[in-house]
């Protein structure tokens, strides 16, 4: 009897071991796994999912029921659709984002959807991203729900997630399957995210480089950051504890910060100091910076200096002509632009000089 009992236990153990070993095998799937990603600013977004095929089946309202589903498995009283096949569809954000205008913290989420007959959908971001499918869905674990309008699109055989309408601060993520597209907009406060990252990096190894402080100040200057903080950063670049060096780059950045802070006299003196150490390309860029700032007197002064230092440069005359034109001095603009054309300019400079002369009625 003892022997038979032991034999039975041993057989059961082998069966369980067999099942467990089978579960560890890496076998091909009918619904292949996929991962898509998109960067917005410095924020990365990943969607990991499995891709079922239509295979001549009726998808919406049948294969994917409308509304919440009674799956009769797991612990969920009713379940949304897992937005794919097999395991839970997972979405990851490396920084805080907004989904359809609503905030969502950085992290991983289980992505679920409730599809309605009226061509709308509810997208659910669940804090539980480790459960298998939607069988253990619990609404108490919802981090965010948003309602979106679905769209009708050309037929798509395999379920697909993609990103479109990508710009500097946002993208549209979409699920596409059969003839339905379910889009949701993701937005990132890029300036906030980048500045938070900068502050951390300045306290680490990158903070021992003058160029890092210059880049930090320049980003803040041009992206709506705190100008007083940017001023501290650029002063660190100019006269930091581990380096002390005035350059055209850091002086011109500081001058622009001072100008935005309304400290005009300091701005002018510092910009003149920056111009005194500029090479031909830097002085040319500085001239255009002054044109864009509508500081035409300084633009002309700097670009005249460039012409004096580089009398055979067609580009130097072209830039000076543009500064005169913007300042309303037609006579000197025409003179400088014609001089540019006489110096056998490269195609892009020639095209610009001719365009400006046409605008002045001289061609």
Domain harbouring 272, CATH code: 1.25.40.10
Confidence at residue 241, expressed as pLDDT on a 0 to 100 scale? 65
Q: Which of 130, 162, 188 is the last residue of a domain?
A: 188
271: in domain: yes
- Helices 264-276 and 248-260 meet at what angle, rounded to 10? 160
Query: Which phi and psi angles does 31 have, rounded to 5°?
Result: -105, 100
Q: Which of 188, 205, 229 is the last residue of a domain?
A: 188
- Block means of pLDDT (10 residues each) for the chain, 363 residues, are 40 40 65 92 97 95 89 78 92 98 98 95 96 88 97 97 97 98 98 97 91 96 97 91 82 95 95 94 93 93 95 96 96 96 96 96 89
If asked whether residues 46 and 67 sit together in one domain, one would say: yes
Confidence at residue 181, expressed as pLDDT on a 0 to 100 scale? 97
Q: In what order do the strands lie in the sheet with 89-93?
A: 32-40, 43-51, 89-93, 107-115, 120-126, 142-149
If asked whether residues 50 and 153 sit together in one domain, one would say: yes
As for how many domains the chain has, the answer is 2
Q: Which of 139, 166, 188 is the last residue of a domain?
A: 188
For residue range 267-323, what is the model confidence (pLDDT) as tens digits? 999 999 999 999 999 999 999 999 998 999 999 999 999 999 999 999 999 999 999
If asked whether residues 44 and 178 sit together in one domain, one would say: yes
Distances in whole angstroms, Cα of residue 84 to Cα of each of 123, 159, 264, 345: 13, 7, 59, 59
Confidence at residue 48, expressed as pLDDT on a 0 to 100 scale? 97
320: in domain: yes
Boundaries of domain holding 344: 191-359
Contacts (Cβ under 8 Å, ≥6 apart) of 286? 248, 252, 271, 274, 275, 278, 302
The span from the CA of 100 to the CA of 118, in Å, is 19
If asked whether residues 120 and 207 sit together in one domain, one would say: no
Confidence at residue 25, expressed as pLDDT on a 0 to 100 scale? 79
The span from the CA of 328 to the CA of 293, in Å, is 15
For residue range 57-73, what is the model confidence (pLDDT) as tens digits? 999 999 999 998 876 67
If asked whether residues 183 and 211 sit together in one domain, one would say: no
Query: Which phi and psi angles does 15 have, rounded to 5°?
Result: -65, -45
If asked whether residues 36 and 166 sit together in one domain, one would say: yes
Confidence at residue 7, expressed as pLDDT on a 0 to 100 scale? 38
If asked whether residues 171 and 196 sit together in one domain, one would say: no
If asked whether residues 174 and 313 sit together in one domain, one would say: no
Confidence at residue 297, expressed as pLDDT on a 0 to 100 scale? 94
């Amino acid at each position: 009897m003892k022997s038979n009992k032991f034999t039975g236990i041993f057989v059961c153990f082998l069966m369980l071991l067999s099942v467990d070993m089978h579960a560890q095998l890496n076998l091909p799937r009918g619904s292949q796994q996929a991962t898509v990603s998109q960067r917005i600013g410095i924020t990365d977004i990943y969607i990991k999912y499995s891709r079922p095929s239509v295979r001549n089946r009726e998808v919406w309202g049948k294969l994917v029921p409308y509304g919440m589903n009674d799956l009769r498995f797991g612990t969920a009283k009713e379940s949304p659709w897992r937005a794919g096949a097999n395991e839970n569809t997972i979405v990851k954000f490396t920084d805080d984002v907004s989904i359809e205008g609503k905030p969502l913290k950085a992290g991983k989420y289980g992505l679920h959807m409730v599809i309605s007959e009226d061509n709308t959908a509810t997208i659910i971001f669940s804090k539980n991203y480790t459960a298998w499918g939607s069988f253990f869905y619990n609404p108490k674990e919802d981090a965010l729900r948003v309602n979106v309008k679905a769209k009708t699109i050309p037929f798509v055989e395999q379920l697909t997630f993609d990103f479109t309408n990508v710009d500097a601060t946002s993208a549209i993520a979409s699920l596409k399957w059969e003839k339905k597209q379910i889009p949701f907009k993701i937005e990132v406060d890029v300036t906030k995210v980048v500045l938070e990252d900068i502050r951390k990096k300045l306290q680490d190894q990158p903070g021992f480089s003058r160029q890092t402080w210059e880049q930090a100040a320049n980003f803040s200057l041009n992206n709506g950051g705190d100008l007083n903080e940017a001023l501290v950063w650029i002063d660190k670049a100019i006269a930091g504890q581990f380096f002390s060096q005035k350059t055209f780059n850091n002086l011109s950045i500081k001058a622009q910060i001072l100008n935005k802070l309304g400290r005009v006299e300091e701005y002018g003196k510092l910009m003149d100091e920056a111009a005194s150490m500029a090479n031909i390309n830097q002085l040319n860029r500085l001239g255009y910076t002054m044109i864009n700032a509508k500081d035409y007197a300084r633009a002309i002064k700097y670009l005249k200096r460039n012409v004096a230092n580089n009398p055979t440069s067609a580009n130097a005359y072209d830039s000076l002509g543009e500064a005169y034109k913007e300042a309303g001095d037609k006579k000197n603009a025409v003179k400088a632009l014609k001089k540019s054309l006489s110096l056998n300019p490269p195609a892009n400079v020639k095209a610009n000089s001719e365009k400006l002369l046409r605008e002045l009625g001289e061609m």
